[in-house]
Structure 1
């Protein structure tokens, strides 16, 4: 079933853009997120209002855009490198990247 709402289409497009940016190196993750989100939207189109669907899409978009940080393994040093972009910094939250030993020292 097709959803014929311009607001939902715009929110879904914004969601897809966030997925594409965040998971730029993982095409399979992009495809799965888009397909499952579209399937879920179609499933709930009669159970939720348009406002609720748009709000859920915006919430998911914000989570993907601001809360998920990708990392890659450096094979030479066996350390991970976090890929932080301007979106992560713009939310004003402090990123606390501590090592496992440092985290254990902080726990009361």
Structure 2
């Protein structure tokens, strides 16, 4: 009875997002929300929204009576498409700027 929430094309590099995801994987939902609320990382706000979406999905589609029994079963970050931009440099050259995106997936489940 797993519930999934996915954030696609999030404008943060996967490497930075994985730092935050690793802190909440396997924890109860309320504990994860507390960690995300206190995290100084900017992507923590986006991940917190994803966890809240998962909670709402569980309440509305799976008829979960007690939200406190939910925990983060899986959480992972995949790399999305990279936007390529160019910045002018000295002597007529240009360097590539890579603006990376992420696909963030959070799967919630009930602990017995």
Task: Tell me which of the two structures has the higher relative contact order, counting C-alpha pairs closer than 8 angstroms and 6 or more residues apart.
Answer: 2
Task: Pick the structure with more helix per residue.
Answer: 1
Task: Pick the structure with more strand per residue.
Answer: 2
TM-score of the alignment, normalized to the shorter chain, above 0.5: no
